[in-house]
Amino acid sequence: MTTPLAAAAAALSLLVVAVGHPVDAPAGRPDTYVVSREAGVRPEGITVTAEGVMYVTSVTSGAVYRGDIREPVLRPFLPAGSHGRTSAAGVHTDRRGRLFVAGWDTGTLFVYSPSGLLLARRVALAGAALNDLVVTNEAVYVTDSATGTVWRAALDGAAVGDLTPWLTAHDLPAAPGFLNGIVATADGRLALVADQGTGDPGSERLYRVDLRRRTATVVEVRGGQMGADGLLLHGDRLYGVVNFPDGRGGWHFAVNVAILDADRRAARVVARSQPAPLEQSPTTLARDAGRLLWVNSQLNAAVPTPPFTVTEVPGLD
């Protein structure tokens, strides 16, 4: 979830290079998906499975929607408010097909079977705002935007451990402003965690977290910012939804694309998507068949207007 107007861009001029992600929808896939036509849904998180199932959360109701990537309309999967899930942000699946949902200001991590059966409900400390998450073979890691904590729940077969404060604000190189996006490398050894900062230009950061040593360092980011809302890692390319001034006193949103070095200690922003207006307020993103999709949350819209949608990220060719 984006904190309103979270951070300004450090630089607006980018070197545009071929980054290998076509923008045209593959045959048989829509370029727009309707999450809901109901008022006030405000979608936030998204994931697309290898089998082509899309899940999208609602931060205002806690509902989770599901659909086939080849069909333009999603349908309710987990009802709003069920199991105390009155808000929902980040969402991901694991190799078992389990669905992990970060419950934002409920301070709760929810885990469901592919059929929608509640498998686990893990609660953090009071006051936590569980925003985004990533699942490895050994654990699930969840960012907490309210306290600057990265929470961890161990995974052992079908068992989901308790949520524990694995990295606190004091363990980070600088006091976090608003922890948000998180991704992990394919081998599960490293995570990248985005801090959107305080809203002051240059306060946003990207952290490299060693998941075995339990340490965090700042990634040197050149050419732009990666203190993003949603993050997506594909090989050495890191994608992040960022916001920045539009030059007219307002704000735009876009996806920045960065190339990471081999050790994930440095990143160079090389491309930016076409911008989206403040009213659209895209949050998180997912990859499907070589294209990128983002969630149009309308979190900053004065009057959110249905339908609430997921669309292709424009202008990354």
Q: What is the pLDDT of residues 118-128, one digit of tens each?
A: 999 999 999 99
Q: Is residue 317 part of a domain?
A: no
Q: Is residue 25 part of a domain?
A: no
Question: Is pLDDT above 70 for 234?
Answer: yes
Distance CA 69, CA 67 (A): 6
Q: What's the pLDDT tens digit per position in 87-142?
A: 999 999 999 999 999 999 999 999 999 999 999 999 999 999 999 999 999 999 99
Contact assessment for residue 238 and residue 221, using Cβ atoms and an 8 Å cutoff: no
* 256: containing domain: 32-307
Q: Let me know if residue 287 belongs to a domain.
A: yes
What value does the mean pLDDT take over residues 56-79?
A: 98
Q: 5 lies in a domain? A: no
* Structural domain includes residue 314: no
Distance between the two ends of the chain, CA-based, in angstroms? 26
pTM, full prediction: 0.92
Query: What domain count does the chain have?
Result: 1
Q: What is the pLDDT of residues 39-59, one digit of tens each?
A: 999 999 999 999 999 999 999
What are 166-199's pLDDT values in tens digits? Answer: 999 999 999 999 999 999 999 999 999 999 998 7
CATH number for the domain spanning 289: value is: 2.130.10.10
| 23 located within any domain | no
